[in-house]
Amino acid sequence: MLVAATQAMSQKLFTLEELNFGGKNYKVSVPQKWNYSWQEGKLIFKDGDKTFEVNPANGEMADYQAPEEKNRPNPKGLLEWCKASNAAAFLRDNNLWVRYADGHDVQLSTDGSRQIVYGQSVHRDEFGIHKGTFWSKDGQKLAFYRMDQSMVADYPQVNTFKREAELEPDKYPMAGMTSHQVTIGIFDLETQKTVYLNVGDPTDRYFTNISWAPDGKTLYLFELNRDQNHTTLDAYDVTTGNKIKTLYTETSDKYVEPQHPITFLPWDDTKFIYWSWKDGYTHLYLMDTEGRELGQLTSGPWVVKEIVGFCPATKSAILITKEAGHLQRNIYSLNIKTKKRTLLDNGKGVHQAKLSEDGLWLVDTWQEPDLPRACAVTNAKTGKSTLLQKASDPWEEWYQPIFEQGTVLAADGETTLYWRMVKPMDFDPSKKYPAVIYVYGGPHAHCVEASWHWGSRSWDTYMAQKGYIVFSIDNRGSEDRGRDFEQATFRRLGQIEMQDQMCGVEYLKSLPYVDAERLGVHGWSYGGFMTTSLMLNYPDVFKVGVAGGPVIDWKWYEVMYGERYMDTPEQNPEGYELTSCINKAKNLKGKLQIIIGMNDPTCVPQHSLQFLNACAEAGTQPDFYAYPGEGHNMAGHKSVHLHERITQYFEDYLK
């Protein structure tokens, strides 16, 4: 059922079954996934990649195209469209172009190639970078990345689907090796001229978190040195490309990690918010365009996760933070002047928020451990909320696993760690069950949260259905617990993480219904590294492991991520030696299956292939499976095949 909400009430419009598209019943996805808006008395919603308009009087549907998009440029190779100027940046034959509102095209570059990359994400998507073009607020200027990777070594990926296999190399800078060079151009739509920022020699420098001044005259960005222990916030004149000033500097004895561009206050073009974890937690700070510090806006032993937007009526920022609990995400209004925070949701669960253009209305969707989904509309000014929908348990009439959550102390004896456990639906405490630890363990991720079923995965349920206990714990080094929690693993990746995971294992072994002789472990990517490391460092504990896309030795991983956490192999030889799985291949006792995408551009096949070689020389016997043509993760039917293979391995050797 779909409802419309106002500040005071909600009204039923129609059910899914009542929707009619062209005289035919149209099957749409569940309402919780819809993206709604209202225009001229009609409901506009997106379902997948399609957009429809619905007449609420009769439920009739039709294809929809926004007025401003009817003449919207949509060139092949589109990178980013700008609503303000109705211009579009796009790629043609590796070069960057702009299509104007009237349809004519202007070419910005001529030397684009596999070696010279324009308008795309750089620095291997690190430092919060997700794209390579940035429009000014008025749409009259376009900032873009230019990445010269001609000096970066080719990693020899091979296409085996051709009659004769062909070389299709990736540019892959490994830790300690030569990296690419990035510069930033600015194209002026009026003059049709491009100016590059005068940054000097870009060698071993990272430029990230690009943002525009509201008036379009200044470009701001963060720069990091290659050691990633020093960052500056710099302002550049977009007409000359010259640096105006450095507004802020931050250093660390480990690493700094800017992930967010500055955000200007909508009601004051001279002030902006920047992010830092310099007090130990990720918080917000206010600064003016002269570089004067205007105070810390948020503080406490918790992290800010997102600036949703602003409510100009109250001069407040709408935030999502972890203030209400490490496992939660909650919505707050932050008064910029008083720094007072006001909770805008129910104080439970994991929330997402979308703010109306005027900043007055907030769509709040959330989950709780026993609530699959709910949705409310909240007035950002008054805080008054109207519940739209609360989903019932879709498994209510089915036998279902038991989902539990708890805590243990980390290996330091002081830090609280959170775990999740999934038990079989017919759980009998008098029986002994095999247990599988599902692990990730690395930075920028977590496994346990206060969402539906404590954030468990479908595979957890599948394994519980087959009679396993599935257990996950977020060790030190994972996200959202503050700087020291995350940086505890610096230069020794995997070591403290394993110690904390073993605290979870000891807890499992203390439970009378867990069979300590049948413990398995599984993870992917960093979790594959953790799985392999646990199998080799604790060979008498784990009987079976499945490691997907694992890092085996950090000297083969990419430069930005690898050097942030490990420094270079030359700077930290002891750390690289300690964390490598190559020299521990002789320790393997249990059954270990390594699974990779044969053309993985993230964790290249060399990791797993060299581990297999080390095992052959040591006389140990891992199993191996590769998906030809696949990357770091499998999709579609390959994903189904993958999870059946993982499951079957535990069925064969752990049951």
User: Catalytic site residues?
Assistant: 525, 600, 632
Q: Which residues of 154-164 are buried (b: 16+ CB within 10 A; e: fewer)?
A: ebebbeeeeee
Other Cβ atoms less than 10 A from the Cβ of 207: the count is 21
User: Looking at residue 468, what DSSP letter applies?
Assistant: -
Residues 324-341, buried b or exposed e (16+ Cβ, 10 A)? bebbbbbbbbbebeeeeb
User: How far from 480 is each of 14, 347, 389, 455, CA to CA, in Å?
Assistant: 40, 18, 29, 15
602 contact partners, CB below 8 Å, separation of at least 6: 525, 549, 558, 631, 632
Query: Residues 203, 204, 209, 214: what is their CA dihedral angle, to the nearest 10 degrees?
Result: -30
Relative orientation angle of helices 458-465 and 637-653, to the nearest 10 degrees: 40
Is 417 within 8 Å of 480 (Cβ atoms)? no
The secondary structure element, H or E, covering residue 559 is helix 559-566
- What is the C-alpha to C-alpha distance for residues 505 and 516, in angstroms, rounded to an integer? 9
- Pick from 447, 553, 544: nearest CA to 493: 553
Instruction: Describe the crossing of helices 495-510 and 526-537 by its angle, rounded to 10 degrees.
Output: 70
| Whole-number Cα distances in Å, 53 to 22, 39, 69 | 12, 9, 14
**Looking at the DSSP assignment, which residues form a beta bridge with residue 283?**
276
Cα-based distances in Å from 273 to 370, 472, 518? 36, 36, 51
- Smallest Cα–Cα separation from 446: which of 404, 477, 487? 477
SS3 446: coil
Q: What is each CA distance from 86 to 211, 386, 621, in whole angstroms?
A: 20, 36, 60
Give the separation between CA 28 and CA 17, rounded to whole angstroms.
9
CA atoms of 445 and 638, how far apart (whole Å):
24
What sign for the dihedral angle of Cα 514, 516, 520, 526? positive
Check if the beta carbon of residue 484 is closer than 8 Å to that of residue 478.
Answer: no
Return d(Cα 91, Cα 417) in angstroms, integer: 47
DSSP 153: P
Q: What is the number of other CB atoms lying within 10 angstroms of the CB of residue 357?
A: 8
Instruction: Please say whether the beta carbons of 632 and 601 come within 8 A.
Output: yes
Of 603, 528, 474, which Cα lies nearest the Cα of 157? 603
Among residues 181, 187, 159, which one has the least CA distance to residue 79? 187
Length of the chain: 655
- Taking the C-alpha atoms of 150, 185, 82 and 272 in order, what is their torsion angle to the nearest 10 degrees? 120
